[in-house]
Amino acid sequence: MKQEIKLRIGIQKSGRLHEDSMKLLKECGIEVSNGVNKLKTEASNFPLELFFFRDDDIPQYVEDSVADLGIVGENVVYEKNKKITVVEKLGFGKCRLSIAVPKGENYEGPAYLSGKRIATTYPVLVDRFLKEQGVEAEIHEISGSVEIAPGIGLASAICDLVSSGSTLFMNGLQEVQPILQSQAVLIRNNALDPERMAILSKLLFRIQAVKKAKNNKYILLNAPNDRLQEIIGLLPGMKSPTVLPLAEAGWSSVHSVLNENEFWEIIEKLKDAGAQGILVVPIEKMIV
Ligand code: ATP
Ligand code: ZN
């Protein structure tokens, strides 16, 4: 019997990306038995094997074909600079890689860093930034707890991942210069064979449907018939909105899809145009 081909995906074993990565697969309808203490597990209803790795190792493993795919932060992808392909941004694990200096320091631009020592776990990205800016500074690579470096006199600036900024604040630092915006991405080996590419397309189709659904809301509202055209004009929809007569004469029910980015603005305008009973419902999957 021919052995079934499976895609092998590298996922962070534990840490900030683990849960969202598993959740994404679940939202794609992929069932995985929970066995995170193991090195690997497999999906019961999709040709996928999951390997659990440290996030830093994932680009290398994907380059070396230990795994076909991986989910990892862009910060790690661009720091490691391996020969892999970024397939899709996944919309979670959002953070930025930023330069921070002690509170009260007057940072007026990258020239401030000239001749200073910067502690970081991202020497490649910091070096690239300094070169782009034409600034010469010393990069001091450390493996963890970068935020304490200025306090103990090890460096006068740091470059680290930030999401809320509270860790910096607690360590007497201020974020002064973002150098990279990052989120989790799906990466793949550069030389997948056609059979594996076909499985990847199926997975990607599901991921894109989940992502679109998250960015969109289903909206239902009641519109007075005399302002129906105005209200329909406000709704972008996928094609055109569905309009159904209500039991009450002179009113219609309008259904459509709204993008999160334009959501609040359009809701305001709909209310002003006389829409009532506006219901906003999450969408589970969206295939367009
Ligand atoms: P591992 O044991 O796998 O090496 P780690 O300690 O290097 O884990 P985590 O702190 O779990 O990594 O972060 C994993 C990824 O989560 C980061 O590389 C980054 O892409 C993303 N991330 C999102 N927000 C933040 C944040 N505020 N601080 C650090 N990482 C963040
Ligand atoms: Zn790591």
The CATH architecture assigned to 7-92+184-213 reads: 3-Layer(aba) Sandwich (3.40)
Eight-class DSSP state of 230: H
Q: In the beta sheet, which residues pair with residue 175?
A: 100
Question: Ligand 1 centre and the CA of 178: distance in Å?
Answer: 17
What gap in Å lies between CA 204 and CA 71, rounded to an integer? 13
**Domains 7-92+184-213 and 95-182 are alike in CATH topology:** yes
pLDDT of residue 14: 94
pLDDT of residue 238: 61
Whose C-alpha lies nearest to ligand 1, atom 11?
A: 15
Spatial CA neighbour of 174 closest among 233, 227, 106:
106
The CATH architecture assigned to 216-282 reads: 2-Layer Sandwich (3.30)
pLDDT of residue 263: 85
The tokens describing 40, both together, are 């690997």
Locus of tokens 């034409």: 134
From 11, 14, 17, 169, the mutation candidate for ligand 1 (largest count of ligand atoms within 8 A of CB) is: 17
Question: Ligand 2 centre and the CA of 51: distance in Å?
Answer: 15
Strand extents, DSSP E, the chain: 7-12, 40-42, 48-53, 69-73, 84-89, 95-102, 117-120, 138-141, 157-162, 173-182, 184-189, 216-224, 242-245, 251-259, 276-282
CATH topology (fold) of 95-182: D-Maltodextrin-Binding Protein; domain 2 (3.40.190)
**Domain definitions of the chain by residue range:** 7-92+184-213, 95-182, 216-282
Spatial CA neighbour of 173 closest among 97, 104, 103, 99:
103
Spatial CA neighbour of 216 closest among 261, 262, 259, 267:
259
What gap in Å lies between CA 138 and CA 277, rounded to an integer? 61
What gap in Å lies between CA 68 and CA 164, rounded to an integer? 33
Output the CA–CA distances (angstroms, integers) from residue 75 to 30, 93, 210, 259, in the order listed: 27, 10, 23, 28
pLDDT of residue 262: 85
pLDDT of residue 236: 78
pLDDT tens, the chain, 288 aa long: 667 899 999 999 999 999 999 999 999 999 998 666 689 999 999 999 999 999 999 999 999 999 999 999 999 999 999 999 999 999 999 999 999 999 999 999 999 999 999 999 999 999 999 999 999 999 999 998 999 999 999 999 999 999 988 999 999 999 999 999 999 999 999 999 999 999 999 999 999 999 999 989 999 999 999 999 999 999 876 667 899 999 999 999 999 999 888 888 999 999 999 999 999 999 999 887
Question: Ligand 1 centre and the CA of 54: distance in Å?
Answer: 10
What gap in Å lies between CA 158 and CA 101, rounded to an integer? 7
